[in-house]
Amino acid sequence: MPEGRPAAGTLTIRPGTLEDIPALVDLLLAAYQGLEEYGEESPEEARHYLKWLRRTCKEGFLVAEAEGRVVGFVAACPDWKDWELGRVLEIHEIAVAPAWQGKGVGRALLEEVFALGRSCGMGLAALWVGEKNHRARRWYTQLGFRELGQWGEWVRMIRPISGAKGG
């Protein structure tokens, strides 16, 4: 399998459900190991956060499944109103199980939400990432995001959505 791409037929991306929340709690907490200052403090807080994401990002709450289990998820709102940028595709969260990182799961999830953003007429994707999360910041940069500014410990990153009207 080429690095950075899941093997054909092994990855399924589908809408996330309430039944996925317990698996996503574990995945989210594992994904933030070593970067706990940016994650949720407890499984209970993670569960509440994930339920908020699912409720807030109805169309953009997607899970990636491989080998019969959830290996990643993304929560993105395709019509978020940012006070500086206007209407954007806002990526609130993306997390991939540590054993599945570097295998194209995150990229596949982002491609799905970029397509959702395009279908909603969004020309720009935006997200916040922890300033010390150097690995994620490098990855986002490789995917075409650029740093726009910083607020406290959070870095704002944006990227045009290719193929979007006006983007």
**Mean of the per-residue pLDDT values of the chain:** 88
Describe the crossing of helices 21-31 and 43-56 by its angle, rounded to 10 degrees. 110
Q: Can you give the residue ranges of every domain in the chain?
A: 11-160
Specify the CATH superfamily of domain 11-160. Answer: Gcn5-related N-acetyltransferase (GNAT) (3.40.630.30)
Q: Which residue has the higher pLDDT, 37 or 92?
A: 92
pTM: 0.88
Going by pLDDT thresholds of 50, 70 and 90, the confidence category of residue 47 is very high
Selection from 97, 16, 27 nearest residue 61 by Cα: 16
pLDDT of residue 141: 96
pLDDT of residue 65: 96
pLDDT tens-digit readout, 127-161: 999 898 898 999 999 999 999 998 888 999 999 99
Cα separation, 160 vs 4, whole angstroms: 22
